[in-house]
Amino acid sequence: MIGIIFGPPGSGKGTQAAKIEKEFDLKHLSTGDILRSEVASGSPTGKEAGRIMAAGDLVPDELIVDIVRMRLPEAEAGRGVLLDGFPRTERQAQALDAMLADEGHRVDFVIALEVPEPELVDRLLHRAKVEGRADDTRKAITERMHEYHKLTEAVLDHYRRQGVPVQLVDGRGAPDEVFERIRQAIGISSR
Ligand code: B4P
């Protein structure tokens, strides 16, 4: 089973992915987490990615696609994969489809979290105080929202056109309440 957890910055993708991974025994692949560990390692890729992320922009498609291409086969070896933060552009979606098709696989479901923008901004500013993430400044958050509307939202139509079930899930409320909605949505998608 190949699933995607999708949503704007701060919608709870990472939070919910950890719960979905446990409940459905899927391997969680977060491009944001992978990039942050590259940044922490101080590698040349990490240095380039760190500058881009801190400004709130998306890192180049080629870099992200290479990262996923290296990790996907190992993740696919298990019961299934949950992609978090990828694909974020139409080109990334096309590259993912091609990678999966090579293995005779396809995306089985997309869970799209919906949260109003003022609440997203509040959550990220709150996280800035707790975790001090470089991209949780007001300026970077504005840019991340802009990139989401400009480039990322189109990924949903990409999968709708292919007939992949895209389930819109209300991302407001306590994390456990949101997870309950996701559990039901995945149940419907995998029937
Ligand atoms: P990500 O790591 O994916 O960051 P994100 O969109 O902010 O989501 P995240 O998962 O961290 O936060 P969550 O919503 O769970 O990406 C970071 C950057 O990496 C991108 O901006 C980009 O530069 C780069 N990048 C990553 N993937 C890329 C790709 N494919 N292509 C190009 N560039 C890429 O949670 C946010 C906060 O809300 C947390 O503090 C959480 O505790 C809180 N929260 C969660 N659920 C809540 C709830 N129900 N109620 C209240 N608060 C909640």
Candidate of 13, 16, 89, 91 to mutate for ligand 1, largest count of ligand atoms within 8 Å of Cβ = 13
10-40: per-residue pLDDT in tens?
999 999 999 999 999 999 999 999 999 999 9
109-142: per-residue pLDDT in tens?
999 999 999 999 999 999 999 999 999 999 999 9
Single-letter residue type at 175: P
Residue 2 dihedral angles phi and psi, to the nearest 5°: -115, 120
For 92, residues 6+ apart whose C-beta sits below 8 A from its C-beta are 61, 64, 65, 86, 155
Mean pLDDT of 60-80: 92
Mean pLDDT of 68-96: 94
Ligand 1: residues within 6 Å at CB?
Answer: 9-15, 31-32, 35, 52-53, 58-59, 64, 85-86, 88, 92, 123, 127, 135, 144, 174-175, 178
Instruction: Give the number of residues written for the chain.
Output: 191
Mean pLDDT of the chain: 95
Instruction: Provide the pLDDT confidence category of residue 61 given band limits of 50, 70 and 90.
Output: very high
Q: What percentage of residues in the chain have a pLDDT greater than 90?
A: 93
Q: What is the pTM of this model?
A: 0.94
Single-letter residue type at 86: F
- Specify whether 127 is catalytic: yes
Residues of 5-19 as b/e, b for ≥16 C-beta within 10 angstroms?
bbbbbbbbbebbbeb
Residue 53 has pLDDT above 70, yes or no: yes
DSSP assignment of 20-52, as one string? HHHHHT-EEEEHHHHHHHHHHHT-HHHHHHHHH
Distance 31 CA to ligand 1 centre (A): 10
Nearest CA to ligand 1 atom 26: 32
For 162, residues 6+ apart whose C-beta sits below 8 A from its C-beta are 97, 107
